[in-house]
Structure 1
Amino acid sequence: MPTPTSAELSAAILPLVGGPANVTSVAHCMTRLRLGLADPGKVDGDALRALPGVLGVVEDDTYQIVLGPGAVARATADFEALLRKETQKARNATPLKTALRRVANVFVPLIPALIGCGVLAGLNGLLLNLGLLPGLTSALAAIATAFMSLIAVFVGHNTAKEFGGTPVLGGAVAAIVVYPGVAKVTAFGVTLAPGQGGVLGALAAALLGTYVEKWCRRWVPPTLDVLLTPTLTVLISGLTTLYVLMYAAGAVSSAIGTAANWLLETTGAFAGLVLGGLFLPLVMLGLHQALIPIHATLIDQQGHTVLLPLLAMAGAGQVGASVAVYVRLRHDSGLRTTIRSALPAGLLGVGEPLIYGVSLPLGRPFLTACAGGAAGGAFVGLFAMLGEQVGATAIGPSGWALFPLLAGDGGLGVAAAIYGGGLVTGYVVGFGATYLFGLRGVTGAAREPSV
């Protein structure tokens, strides 16, 4: 029997390990394809051992399929590509949503560290302003900023992992962006600066590295794969990063920061109205994930993202609208139970339960919730026009959970007051618009007096 190609071998392995839904993680070492499985009992071990190209099977904390050096790297790439394809089919995802989801998958695992470091940075700033514990503030500053100084490495690692490359090679290529020695590199008469390009440069560098690695896996002989593939990947991607990507990504990153500041300084109220009003539809469509790299770029560049507090107002409008539904449809016990269950999460910025369980099924309350978000965004944006910008030092939290992560030109107290005012505005307008206009013609609302 002829030896199967890596694509054929991957296609044969996947159903024998329980299918796409049973695979929770994919990795490889020098010789083995290592799979995390939800239910190892679904594996047909005998059939796996009988496959041409499979040298053996080891059952450990991960399920290990021995394929041999060189062959395992090719098979892993094909297996991951097949797994993504089958998962996409199962989700019936559009190409745009899939692309955005994959970019989000690069940054979402970084959110816990961003939150932790952001809270510590805020605490450190408070201690500095109060003149307390000067010895501790230096330690807190080091702890809070260390991750951000190396975030490019983590972005590179996650990018390669998500797009089918070797994570450590992605991290190695992305590390070039923040390496202090790049200050000695001059190209076209311009000297590079460490960190130039930020997270976007790291993302682009690691993505390029992944494609170079895949190209090498196809063309480098298996006997030389271990030596040549990582060398060529780092060399080609590294030179391209230094002489092309850092310049291009640096220009894009600077443009994002400049555009965000200009937008709020000149059209703050209108920008806040639009962003706060449209964010719920973006969440519903899954398109909000496109904003994650922009938030990360602003945090890396300026220390905070000025867009997140505006977008967070959408959650406030959603909460106000849901409370109005709760008050008006007091005879709908099932819906009221859903609101009671989902409201605490909504107050903390987790809006999906209220979107999909309350406002979206009812129709009009979804639109009036957007109106509340627009009003709250306009409130926060107005103060940005007046010179009091409010930003968030991390992404992920929203609603009340965002208070410890706020930053602003006037200090934490002013930022918290403006953000709190925006939340209250969103609550009130979302409630009022829904109570007065959002329940006309809604099933169940006929039991209530019409307005």
Structure 2
Amino acid sequence: MAENKNRDVAASILPLVGGAANVTSVAHCMTRLRLGLADRSLVQEEALKALPDVMGVVEDDTYQIVLGPGKVARVTPEFEELVNDGKAAAPGPQPPTADALAAQGAELRARQKAKNATPFKLFLRKIANIFVPLIPALIGCGIIAGINGLLINLHWLPGVTPALAAIASGFMALIAVFVGYNTAKEFGGTPILGGAVAAIIVYPGVANIDVFGQTLSPGQGGVLGALGAAVLAVYVEKWCRKWVPEAVDVLVTPTLTVLISGLVTIFGLMFVAGEVSTAIGDGANWLLENTGIFAGAVLGGLFLPLVMLGLHQALIPIHTTLIEQQGYTVLLPILAMAGAGQVGAAIAVYRKLKNNTSIRKTIKSALPAGFLGVGEPLIYGVSLPLGRPFITACVGGAAGGAFIGLFSMLGTQVGSTAIGPSGWALFPLLDGNKGLGVTCAIYAGGLLVGYIVGYLATYYFGFTKEMMVEFNADVDLGESPEAHAEEGPSAPPVTGTPKEPAKV
């Protein structure tokens, strides 16, 4: 029955994105179905957003349909199968002509890239594409590590805990290899060569090598070293493809790629990346231990704007480095407070706009996902279009971040063993230096502070008198969005499409 439901969702989406012939690629991340489309003008966006299972859509380098965690992983294979079936059944190219589609698609892509694709954002997107595919394994292994720690503390199942430790730690022991593989793939090289060069970093035999008077340690440099080694391997490989004769390319290119990149990795990158990784870990801990309240407020308060600008992707390798170094990232629980402020703000909007059944319906349907850390529906359907509630939501996030930062100054670290989940969904992944009970209590306290401050700030300061007159009416915003825009001529409608996805 569940499979039929997922297939029904896929079947309802497919015709609204132009049918199988219009779909050039299918992928998914934590919450979104990501589609490559030949012609975006064929998308029936309003009808698509009206589907019960669609939380929103995102215009980016791919066309992204927000379905939520769990559901997207089940709908995607069904959708892909329908696309393949549709293309197999199609007799051939259909009107409009291929030339017309290509011209229109090129125009749309150029317009979109000119609008959003700055060099820095493109670089951050590449970094995100390297690490995002690793998140499911980080989550699974992190939860298993948490369960194992609980069993050890309770002295339960002593014969099972070593096996769970191996299951939880195996991926992290080899994460550099996966980073190297994904890096080479993302930068246009042969993925397996990137993985091979990155594998040098975790090979136990490097402990027999002295560099700059110091003995290397297996894993030194971590994911940053793996990333650098794989990028180097891509450039060496491309140089070889350009100059090595085709007759011996299959032998010479892989050999030179691994040899040159491997030597540079051993005698340079591992040492440099190790120093940088150590500095990141020490810097994050020093920041929270000495300026915890201020740092927590800044991180928690600015995370939503960072997401809107696409700059949050720069934090992914930092999180991964911290997890690799000390078993958890101390930054993610603080950043998760942005979601708490968002939830508190949404509840205040719900209570404030008692007559606006459309916004209240959106909030009621989106709040469960918001509590679990999925912020897209509340951000793009409620707070951001309204304007001021987005700012007051950030205030709530700052308060929650300051709360957790305070305890960091007092010597109690709150961390997460994986990246991705937020809100209540982060509880199974929590870890720290003072025991699971204390860690969970502090994190729960931060969420509560975020909810309360986000609610109060929004309820008392989130609306002007003009906004109350404009929005506190019994209307359907989906039918006349132009009548319900935020103050200012360029503000998006309350039910408008997000430009960048947010995961808080």
Assess same fold via TM > 0.5. Answer: yes
**1:261 maps to 2:263:** no
Task: Pick from 144, 147, 152 the counterpart of residue 120 of structure 1.
Answer: 144
* Equivalent position of 1:76 in the other structure: none
Q: 2:442 and 2:204 mapped to 1: Cα distance?
A: 38
Residues 15-54 of structure 1 show CA distances to partners (whole Å, capped at 9, x for unaligned) of xx989x61459xxxxxxxxxx9966468979xxxxxxxxx
Q: 1:218 to 1:447 in 2, by over 3 A?
A: closer
Q: Which amino acid aligns with 2:148?
A: N
Any idea what SS the aligned residue of 1:134 has? Answer: coil
Task: Pick from 411, 415, 419 the counterpart of residue 435 of structure 2.
Answer: 411
- Aligned residues of 1:362 and 1:442 also touching (Cα < 8 A): no
Residues 167-186 of structure 1 show CA distances to partners (whole Å, capped at 9, x for unaligned) of 11110000011110001111
**1:219 maps to 2:224:** no
Q: 2:333 and 2:455 mapped to 1: Cα distance?
A: 20
Q: Which amino acid aligns with 1:282?
A: L
* Equivalent position of 2:354 in the other structure: 330
User: TM-score normalised to the size of structure 1?
Assistant: 0.81
User: TM-score normalised to the size of structure 2?
Assistant: 0.73
* Equivalent position of 1:308 in the other structure: 332
Q: Which amino acid aligns with 2:433?
A: D
Any idea what SS the aligned residue of 1:199 has? Answer: helix
**1:156 maps to 2:161:** no
1:332-351 matches, within 5 Å, as 332-351=356-375
Any idea what SS the aligned residue of 1:139 has? Answer: helix
Task: Pick from 217, 226, 230 the counterpart of residue 202 of structure 1.
Answer: 226
Any idea what SS the aligned residue of 2:159 has? Answer: helix
* Equivalent position of 1:429 in the other structure: 453
Residues 380-433 of structure 1 show CA distances to partners (whole Å, capped at 9, x for unaligned) of 110111111100000000000000000011111110000000000000000000
* Equivalent position of 1:283 in the other structure: 307
Task: Pick from 83, 89, 97 the counterpart of residue 121 of structure 2.
Answer: 97
1:334-373 matches, within 5 Å, as 334-373=358-397
Task: Pick from 404, 411, 415 the counterpart of residue 387 of structure 1.
Answer: 411
Moved more, 353-362 or 367-376: 353-362
Any idea what SS the aligned residue of 1:391 has? Answer: strand
Any idea what SS the aligned residue of 2:467 has? Answer: coil
Q: Which amino acid aligns with 1:93?
A: A
Q: Which amino acid aligns with 1:263?
A: L
Residues 140-195 of structure 1 show CA distances to partners (whole Å, capped at 9, x for unaligned) of 11110010000000001111111111111110000011110001111232211110
* Equivalent position of 2:11 in the other structure: none
Deviation of 1:223 after TM superposition, in Å, equals: 1.5
Deviation of 1:241 after TM superposition, in Å, equals: 0.5
Task: Pick from 16, 21, 24 the counterpart of residue 22 of structure 1.
Answer: 24
Q: 1:193 to 1:445 in 2, by over 3 A?
A: farther
Q: 1:94 and 1:310 mapped to 2: Cα distance?
A: 28
Identity between Structure 1 and Structure 2 (%) = 70
- Aligned residues of 1:320 and 1:369 also touching (Cα < 8 A): yes
Q: 2:381 and 2:161 mapped to 1: Cα distance?
A: 45
Q: 1:294 and 1:445 mapped to 2: Cα distance?
A: 45
* Equivalent position of 2:424 in the other structure: 400
Deviation of 1:447 after TM superposition, in Å, equals: 6.8
- Aligned residues of 1:329 and 1:445 also touching (Cα < 8 A): no
Query: Number of residue pairs matched?
Result: 384
Task: Pick from 118, 131, 136 the counterpart of residue 107 of structure 1.
Answer: 131
Task: Pick from 199, 205, 230 the counterpart of residue 254 of structure 2.
Answer: 230
Structure 1's unaligned 5+ residue stretches are: 1-16, 26-35, 46-81
Any idea what SS the aligned residue of 1:133 has? Answer: coil
Deviation of 1:197 after TM superposition, in Å, equals: 0.5
Q: 1:124 to 1:330 in 2, by over 3 A?
A: same
* Equivalent position of 2:47 in the other structure: none
Q: 1:442 and 1:184 mapped to 2: Cα distance?
A: 72
Q: How large is the RMSD of aligned CA atoms in angstroms?
A: 2.4
